[in-house]
Structure 1
Amino acid sequence: MSEQYLIVNTKILPDFYEKVVAARDLVEQHKVKGVSEAVQRVGISRSTYYKYKDSIFSFSENARGRKAVLSMILTHQQGVLSEVLNELAAQHTSVLTINQSIPIHDHASVSLSLDISDLDCSIDEVLRSLKEKKGVTNVRLIDLE
Structure 2
Amino acid sequence: MADKKYLIIDTEILPEVYEKVLEVKEILRTGRAKGITEAVQMTGISRSTFYKYKDFIFASSEGTKGQKVTITLLLSHAPGVLSNLLNKLAFWNVNILTINQDIPINNIANVSITFDISEAKTGIDDLMEGLRGIKGVVKVELIAME
Give TM-score, length-normalised by structure 1: 0.95
Q: What is residue 53 of structure 2 aligned with on the other side?
A: 52
Q: What is residue 16 of structure 1 aligned with on the other side?
A: 17
- CA deviations 1:100-145 (Å, max 9, x no partner) are 1121111111110001111111011110110000110100111111
- CA deviations 1:64-86 (Å, max 9, x no partner) are 11110011111111111111111
Secondary structure, counterpart of 1:141 in structure 2: strand
Determine the C-alpha separation between the residues in 1 that align with 2:80 and 2:40.
42
- One-letter amino acid matched to 2:125: D
Determine the C-alpha separation between the residues in 2 that align with 1:80 and 1:117.
25
Q: What is residue 95 of structure 2 aligned with on the other side?
A: 94
Contact 2:72–2:143, Cα closer than 8 Å, also in 1:
yes
Map 1:49-128 onto structure 2 (within 5 A): 49-128=50-129
Q: What is residue 38 of structure 2 aligned with on the other side?
A: 37
Determine the C-alpha separation between the residues in 1 that align with 2:143 and 2:40.
19
Deviation at 1:63, TM superposition (A): 2.8
- One-letter amino acid matched to 1:128: E
- One-letter amino acid matched to 1:95: I
Deviates more, 1:100-109 or 1:126-135: 100-109
Deviation at 1:36, TM superposition (A): 1.3
Contact 2:6–2:124, Cα closer than 8 Å, also in 1:
no
Deviation at 1:43, TM superposition (A): 1.1
Secondary structure, counterpart of 1:65 in structure 2: coil
Deviation at 1:15, TM superposition (A): 0.9
- CA deviations 1:34-73 (Å, max 9, x no partner) are 1111111111111211221121112211131111001111
Determine the C-alpha separation between the residues in 1 that align with 2:39 and 2:75.
32
Deviation at 1:11, TM superposition (A): 2.1
